[in-house]
């Protein structure tokens, strides 16, 4: 947490660099705001500073309807600092407490309920269930502001099983009834894509991210244009597609999303945020890298180019072993065309079962690599796989480069150093002899900076 003097200075200056790093609670109104809120600044005696929107809500404040702090990019404080807490947050965000009990979550984490509650209390100041419910309410608030979905559908999409429970939770956590936020709009025609705005902290090096995806996009699975990136997606049994259009003047992406099951909407939106790396605080990352490597010219706002799932990232990494980017793209294209389920005029990425059950005759590559790919897919199809790629090296044929590449692109891990990558090796002289370890905990971004300069 920043000290009060820094928060005061940032609030009075409406400094965008601090957006998402703290929120401001105003005792006279009972609301909390972003530091860039356009409202007239309140007197210091009426102001309290909080690390996160959740902390402000627990203190009895509700979100400002003008600056909408719930739509600001997530603060790193949401994620905590402990490995178990970070994994618990990811699982809860993906619906672990919506579809199961706290005991089920603890069993997946390998910890006791008392220990998990203590981690949440120490890290966030709330219980796991309070955290989960507040996140559900914030997502519902976004849908109320930005869509014409009926309130019943919004409750369902947010993970509530009844409208009454949704209304009660929303009033408790947000301080308003859902209908008080709903603006009158004409309903969208049935079957039209859902449109959402996903914000980020500037700067954002969109041309670099766009060109990276364009050079590796799989025809029929992904589409890339001057200002957009899109693809077909799956989440559990749900399927659909999205197209994210960059709107730099709003520091956001306009996302048009189609899904055949609204219960997958919330985790799908979080996955889109990771694919585009919208929650990164690149100013902090680049300040650290500039201090560690003063001779390295940095691209401002560089983002990690994500893939939809760790499994897809693993498949692409295996197919990319010891071949060029174009050759890897060709192999993935053949795999998608041969084994991917049809989706409109294209295909979904193949399922683990489809790859595990195929002889992969359409792929021109060594038999040992085909065996590795089938072994990896079988591991996922049997439900034994770990979504942490660092655990994959136990499988024959998967080495550190494959696991690290999949971690960087499939999970958004911020501290991956791809020292064995050819592009990184070509760009190493730009570090002027400095130890790459100085880039921790942001070596994924250091890797990407070097990639951008090795082209």
pLDDT of residue 1: 55
Query: Residue-wise pLDDT tens for the chain (455 aa)?
Result: 568 888 888 888 887 667 777 899 999 999 999 888 888 899 999 999 998 888 888 899 998 888 888 765 554 433 434 568 878 888 888 888 887 899 999 988 888 999 999 989 888 888 999 999 999 999 999 999 888 899 999 999 999 989 999 999 999 888 889 988 876 555 555 567 899 999 998 999 999 999 999 999 999 999 999 999 999 999 988 999 999 999 999 999 999 999 999 989 999 999 999 999 998 889 889 998 999 999 999 999 999 999 999 999 999 999 999 899 999 999 999 999 999 999 988 999 999 999 999 999 999 999 999 999 999 999 999 988 777 898 899 999 999 999 999 999 999 988 899 988 888 999 999 999 999 999 988 999 999 999 888 65
Q: What does the DSSP 8-state code read for residue 390?
A: G
393 Cβ neighbours under 8 A, 6+ residues apart: 399, 400, 403
Half-sphere exposure of 407 (CA within 13 A, CB side): 24
The answer to whether 15 is a known catalytic residue is: no
Write phi, then psi, for 70 (nearest 5 degrees).
Answer: -70, -20
Give the active site residue among 261, 387, 415, 421. 421
Contact status, residue 39 vs residue 12, Cβ threshold 8 Å = no
CATH superfamily of 4-66: DNA Methylphosphotriester Repair Domain (3.40.10.10)
In angstroms, the CA 78 to CA 51 distance is 9
Beta bridge partners of 62: 31
Extents of the domains making up the chain = 4-66, 77-181, 194-278, 307-411
The answer to whether 277 is a known catalytic residue is: no
Contact status, residue 68 vs residue 104, Cβ threshold 8 Å = no
**Read out DSSP for 171-184?**
HHHHSS-HHHHPPP
In angstroms, the CA 47 to CA 27 distance is 6
Contact status, residue 277 vs residue 304, Cβ threshold 8 Å = yes
Q: CA of 301: how far to CAs of 129, 279, 319, 364, in Å? A: 35, 12, 29, 38
194-278 matches 77-181 in CATH topology = no
pTM of the predicted model as reported, rounded to 2 decimal places: 0.80
Beta bridge partners of 222: 219, 231
Q: If one looks up domain 194-278 in CATH, what number appears?
A: 3.30.310.20
Contact status, residue 64 vs residue 33, Cβ threshold 8 Å = yes
Q: If one looks up domain 77-181 in CATH, what number appears?
A: 1.10.10.60
Query: Two tokens at 167?
Result: 């209304």
pLDDT of residue 183: 60
Give the active site residue among 33, 37, 64, 67. 33
In angstroms, the CA 72 to CA 360 distance is 45
Beta strands 252-259 and 194-199, pairing class: antiparallel
Tokens 């795999």, located at residue: 335
What b/e readout covers 324-350, taking b as 16+ CB neighbours within 10 angstroms? eeeebbbbbbbbbbbbbeebeebbbbb
CATH superfamily of 307-411: Hypothetical protein; domain 2 (1.10.340.30)
Query: Two tokens at 60?
Result: 């009895």
């Amino acid at each position: 947490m920043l000290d009060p003097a820094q928060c005061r200075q940032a609030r009075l200056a409406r400094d965008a660099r601090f957006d998402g790093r703290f929120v401001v609670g105003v005792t006279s109104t009972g609301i909390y705001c972003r530091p860039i809120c356009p409202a007239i600044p309140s007197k210091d005696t009426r102001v309290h500073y909080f690390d996160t929107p959740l902390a402000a809500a627990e203190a009895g404040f509700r979100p400002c309807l003008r600056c909408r702090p719930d739509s600001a990019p997530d603060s790193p404080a949401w994620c905590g600092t402990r490995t178990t807490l970070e994994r618990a947050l990811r699982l809860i965000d993906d619906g672990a407490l919506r579809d199961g009990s706290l005991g089920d979550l603890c069993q997946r984490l390998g910890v006791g309920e008392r220990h998990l509650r203590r981690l949440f209390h120490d890290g966030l100041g709330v219980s796991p269930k309070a955290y989960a419910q507040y996140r559900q309410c914030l997502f519902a608030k976004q849908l109320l502001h930005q869509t014409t979905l009926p309130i019943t559908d919004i409750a369902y999409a947010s993970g509530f099983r009844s409208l009454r429970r949704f209304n009660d939770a929303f009033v408790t956590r947000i301080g308003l009834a859902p209908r008080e936020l709903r603006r009158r709009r004409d309903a969208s025609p049935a079957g039209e894509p859902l449109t959402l705005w996903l914000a980020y902290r500037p700067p954002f090096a969109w041309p670099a991210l766009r060109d990276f995806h364009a050079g590796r996009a799989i025809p029929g699975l992904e589409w890339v244009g001057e200002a957009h990136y899109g693809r077909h997606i799956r989440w559990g049994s749900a399927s659909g597609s999205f197209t994210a259009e960059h709107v730099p003047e709003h520091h956001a992406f306009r996302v048009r999303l189609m899904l055949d099951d609204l219960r997958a909407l919330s985790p799908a939106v979080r996955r889109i945020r990771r694919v585009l790396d919208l929650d990164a605080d690149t100013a902090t990352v680049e300040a650290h890298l500039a201090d560690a490597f003063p001779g390295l010219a940095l691209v401002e706002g560089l983002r990690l180019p994500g893939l939809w799932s760790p499994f897809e990232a693993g498949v692409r990494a295996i197919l990319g072993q010891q071949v060029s980017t174009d050759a890897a793209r060709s192999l993935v294209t053949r795999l998608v065309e041969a084994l991917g389920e049809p989706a409109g005029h294209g295909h979904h990425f193949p399922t683990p079962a489809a790859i595990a059950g195929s002889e992969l005759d359409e792929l021109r590559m060594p038999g040992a690599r085909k065996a590795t790919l089938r072994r990896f897919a079988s591991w996922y199809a049997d439900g034994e796989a770990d979504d942490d790629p660092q655990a994959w090296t136990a499988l024959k044929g998967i080495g550190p480069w494959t696991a690290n590449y999949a971690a960087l692109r499939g999970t958004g891990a911020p501290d991956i150093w791809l020292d064995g990558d050819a592009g990184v090796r070509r760009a190493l002289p730009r570090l002027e002899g400095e130890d790459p370890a100085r880039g921790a905990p942001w070596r994924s971004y250091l890797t990407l900076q070097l990639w951008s300069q090795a082209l």
